[in-house]
Amino acid sequence: MIRFTKMHGIGNDFVVADAERCGPESGWPNLARAMCDRRFGVGSDGLLLISRATNADFQMRMLNPDGSESEMCGNGVRCVLRWLHREGWTQEPVVSLETGAGVLQLEISSNGWVRVDMGPARLLRGEIGMSGDPQAKFVDEPLAHSSGLNGTAVSMGNPHLVVIVDDVQAVSLEVWGPELEAHSLFPNRVNVHFVQVLSPTTLRQRTWERGAGATLACGTGACAATVAAHVTGRADSAVTVELPGGNLKIEYAPSGHVFMAGPAEFVFEGGWLEPDER
């Protein structure tokens, strides 16, 4: 039996477990598909597997509900720090976490929120994993899509396409989301975010995540949305991002690094039965 914890960061929910207790790595994609299933499994937007690391204090691997692996997850890393404290792996307020996007610094505050240095935002096509000139940027460019909209591409260690719209509630998310996720500009697919600028300090966002579909929140996406809104002159460098599941505080610092702060909550603990235990 695999012991796990169900957690969420403003509605972006995860199954969190000790990687060593989850069998061989070759079986993780099937485990993610089974555990993330909302009718036949636990139900979540991703499976977070935690281990100790050599290049940092700890390591996080994230698998999507379709079994693919994501480089990073902003809401997920906040959950990881609280999980580490609850499980007794550390009581340090600041830890380093190795992810597929590099090593991140996480800090827990007195109110339980977690602040994360998400690293630098990257705007070059080659850094994002886009087709075309690797030294060129894709900022407020036409998408050649039926929506007729423009987009800005940003990497936060994983690829994002930010589309600024007048009204996020009017967006056909279930149609435009998967179409843009598989856009030819992004050979490895992309996370898609529709963003409405409410004021220079407030954004409203809806997300279609690569490999997961519509989610209530996306931390790296909120970071990308802040960068896109700022570099196109629509918003300040420090904003509140309103997502369906709650709010995040994002700062795009002069150094180019992006800082994210938000909550992480426990839901329940359980045990996942292996096939021979059922």
Query: Mind telling me the catalytic residues?
Result: 73, 218
182: tokens are 């598989």
Cβ atoms 272, 40 nearer than 8 A: no
Q: Concatenated DSSP letters for 100-139? A: TTEEEEEEE-TTS-EEEEEEE-B-BHHHHT-SS-TT-B-S
Strands 2-9 and 150-155: unpaired
CA dihedral (262, 172, 178, 225) positive or negative: negative
- Distance, C-alpha 92 to centroid of its chain: 24
Using alpha carbons only, how large is the chain's radius of gyration in Å? 18
Task: Tally the C-alpha atoms within 13 A of residue 156's C-alpha that lie toward its C-beta.
Answer: 32
Cβ atoms 34, 67 nearer than 8 A: no
Neighbours of 255 (CB within 10 A): 9
Residue 166 is classified by DSSP as S
How many residues would you count in the chain? 278
d(CA 58, CA 223): 23
Strands 47-52 and 246-252: unpaired
216: tokens are 């209530």
203: tokens are 């954004």
